[in-house]
Amino acid sequence: GNNEALEVLIKECKVSVNEVGPNGTSLLWAAAAFNKPETAKLLIKLGAKVNMEHLDGATPLYVASVRGNKEVVDVLLSSHADADASSIGESPLYTAAVAG
């Protein structure tokens, strides 16, 4: 992703950093899902909610854990994401432990 353009859209065009698309995906959730740690850092710096759930209940930390996106997991945990938040019946901590 182009982080500079993203920052302009959020800051100057007043796009909400916590905007949710029609499929329930927030910008931070997408960054977590597609292993974009620098984008995740930028979004958090701009005010993204680290524990904001997808429509299906999955948090960014949950999806990053499921997909093995360690760098994004580290970014989210250092930004106080809740490792015990229940997502789809399982916590990100449990999911990471099972996935190894």
Is 24 within 8 Å of 49 (Cβ atoms)? no
Q: Where are the domains of the chain?
A: 3-99
Report residue 26: phi and psi, to 5°. -85, 165
CA distance 45 to 65: 21
pLDDT computed for residue 95 by the predictor:
63
User: Would you say 40 and 72 are in contact if contact means Cβ atoms under 8 Å apart?
Assistant: yes
- pLDDT at residue number 78: 97
Q: Does domain 3-99 have CATH number 3.30.160.250?
A: no
Whether the full predicted model's pTM is greater than 0.75, yes or no, is yes
Mean pLDDT of 7-28: 91
Q: Residue 87 forms beta bridges with which residues? A: 90
